[in-house]
Every structure is written in structure tokens, then in C-alpha cells.
Amino acid sequence: MKFVKKTFVTALLIPLILFEAYLSTALLLRWQHAINDVLVRLPPESQTPVTHPMLSQEIEQVLSENVWLKVGVWAITLLLLAVNAWAIQRLLRLLRRERTAPRSV
């Protein structure tokens, strides 16, 4: 049973770490754009991930015009970073506790 729990926790930890890395790149805007450009190319060519050809430019324009909207987006990003980091920390603590727990025979 412990093996299943450890496997589940590890499987949950991997996407959380990847999501944390992706959110962290939001603080470094150039990296975020580079990652997004690669992610757009991942789906098959027949599908288009963007319904509007200039969507990203329009979003940037709206964010530059509305300062409070931009602050809100940053606040949500930082909140997601904090909650995700907390979840990663709790899962790592759970894994460490399982590793150091005394084994009964």
C-alpha cells in the first residue's frame, strides 16, 4: 500500500513541478513567450490553438492600457506560484516522512 501511495504522490509531484516552472517563467517574460511559441507548435498542424490571429498582441495591448488589470494578472500569477509551491512542499514532506518512517516487520 505504501508503494501505491508513494507512486501516486510522485506522479502528482511531477506535473506540479512542471507547472511551477512554467509559472516562474511568467516573471521572465521573454522566456514565457519562447515557451508559448514552442507549445503552439506541439499540436498537429490541422488544429489551430488560437482562434484570432492577433490575439496575443491584443491581450498585451489591453494589459498595457489597463494598469489594474495587469496588476490583477500578476497577483493571480503570484498566488498560483505560492499555492503550487506550498503543494510541492507538502508532497515532498510526505515523501520524506514515508522514507524515514520506521518499518515494522
CA atoms within 13 Å, Cβ hemisphere of 89: 6
**Domains: count for the chain:** 1
Decide if 81 contacts 24 (C-beta within 8 A). yes
pLDDT tens by residue, 13-51? 999 998 888 888 777 766 667 777 777 666 666 555 556
Residue 105 lies in a domain: no
Residue 69 domain flag = yes
Identify the pLDDT of residue 84. 92
Task: Check residue 74 and give its pLDDT.
Answer: 85
Q: Averaged over 63-84, what is the pLDDT?
A: 89
- Domain that residue 19 falls in: 2-45+52-100
Do 1 and 59 contact (CB within 8 A), yes or no? no
Identify whether the C-beta of residue 12 lies closer than 8 Å to the C-beta of residue 90. Answer: no
